[in-house]
Amino acid sequence: MRILVIGGGYVGMYTALRLQKKLKIELKRAREGKGGVEIAVVSPEPYMTYQPFLPEAGAGSISPRHVVVPLRRVLRDCRIIVGEARQIEHADRVATVETAATGEEGGGPLRLHYDELVLAPGSVSRALPVPGLADVGIGFKTVEEAIGLRNHVLEQLDIASSTRDPEIRDAALTFVFVGGGYAGVEALAELEDMARYACRYYHNLRPEELKWILVEATGRILPEVGDEMGGYAVRELRARAIDVRLDTRLESCENRVAVLSDGSRHPCRTLVWTAGVKPHPIVSATDLPRTERGRLSCTATLQVEGAEHAWAAGDAAAVPDLTAEEPGVECAPNAQHAVRQARVLADNIVAVLHGRPQTAYRHAYAGSVASLGLHKGVARVYGRRLKGYPAWFMHRVYHLSRVPTFNRKARVLAEWTLAGFFKREIVSLGSLEHPRAEFEIAAGDGHRPGKP
């Protein structure tokens, strides 16, 4: 028997981890060739990314390798398949998976047969048809994007410090972030902190010359923390000379000029897009029922409606919120629900295998915390509102308690402790993104090509 888990994020990893714990005897029998159960996890990367730490990784407060959790180390009794699920035919219980070896072997993709399916691919950035966005936009959902953005921001400071052209200088020092949710606000706040600190090491740059713009289409930011704390966050950011534009949309960013719906134009070399997410494309490549928004229709027990042996949770699943006062409300697609849903999902699969009754997912939303940079934050936890240093401290304590494995907790805590004694690192390692560049130069004419 095979349980196939699609996705190695919060739901995928935590579901497999709990199944691994609950089905020890069955897994052992499978390894001995005596039947039993095999757990196969399909993930495009061999690690799980703890996304709440991406802003701090981007700002250099945490090493990027401590933001990810190696799946092979955590899921030792599971079969890890690094690849992308392209199609799922649940009627035949078959998943089509492409791996890195698919092209090398010259053959077709893998066709994995399964008995139970856990579909937890997460979400991807929702890019709107804004002219120029696909050419210049930078996302903020992966550790690669976070580190790439850090290198890019520091590189812009180098460009501004070196150029004699005032237009290039102004564009290099203008940073536009689109989206007022967690990702956009925390990324902007942490990187603004880092860039302002870095300016002290440039002889001709001053922090007040940097222009940071946050563009949000609605009338508030950080809706999860409530109107009062969201308003405080706006005031805090504006007090740091960050231009927060509410009820404003990005109309175009062609030729490196951000054109906003309020008529303003901002030449810039940095445009970060964090304006929402959508379910992973694999969801639409299945024969499973979906909602109008493209998420999988699920019951409170986390089974896909009308599809036996199919389960889902997390960003790609529409799970009814049994704690809501009004009927028809769905659980918010966030990490708080995803981790808890994974536990219930795994327990329900074990219950089905052992002929026991299932449990409905029920969790009252505890609250939210958000960082606004070093020693600054907002929070709303169990109805209590916090701001400033207490909220920032709670943000760190909460996420330190939630990051998987003791190994990662210890390493992150050590880095935070050392950061209190030493100065920030302000080195751009953009060359890491092109490791063969130096060799290509040496093998060519020996001259470094100019950057656009």
The pLDDT of residue 431: 61
Pinpoint the alpha helices (H) of 75-210. 100-105, 133-136, 143-162, 166-172, 182-198
Please choose, from the candidates 263, 257, 296, 262, the residue with its C-alpha nearest in 3D space to the C-alpha of residue 278.
296
List, for residues 226-272, the tens digit of each pLDDT value: 888 889 999 999 999 999 999 999 999 999 999 999 999 999 999 99
The pLDDT of residue 411: 93
d(CA 269, CA 133) in angstroms, rounded, equals: 12
Please choose, from the candidates 83, 50, 78, the residue with its C-alpha nearest in 3D space to the C-alpha of residue 66.
50
List, for residues 364-413, the tens digit of each pLDDT value: 777 788 889 888 999 888 778 888 999 999 989 988 998 888 999 999 99
Q: Are 267 and 167 in contact (CB under 8 A)?
A: yes
The pLDDT of residue 270: 96
CB neighbour burial string for 247-266, b if at least 16 within 10 angstroms, e if fewer = ebbbeebeebebbbeeeeeb
Start-to-end CA span in the chain (Å): 54
Q: Are 37 and 1 in contact (CB under 8 A)?
A: yes
CB proximity list for 326: less than 8 A, separation 6 or greater: none
The pLDDT of residue 412: 93
The pLDDT of residue 382: 77
Residue 163, burial from CB neighbour count under 10 angstroms (0-12, 13-18, 19+): middle
Q: What angle do CA 261, 246, 150 make, to 5 degrees?
A: 90
Return phi, psi of residue 429, to 5°.
Answer: -115, 45
The pLDDT of residue 452: 47
Average pLDDT, 10 consecutive residues per value, the chain (452 residues)? 94 95 90 88 94 90 90 94 94 93 75 95 88 92 91 94 95 96 92 94 94 95 86 93 96 95 95 90 93 93 94 94 86 86 96 94 82 88 85 90 90 90 76 70 67 48
Please choose, from the candidates 364, 365, 362, 333, the residue with its C-alpha nearest in 3D space to the C-alpha of residue 348.
362
Q: What angle do CA 241, 246, 249 make, to 5 degrees?
A: 115
d(CA 97, CA 93) in angstroms, rounded, equals: 13
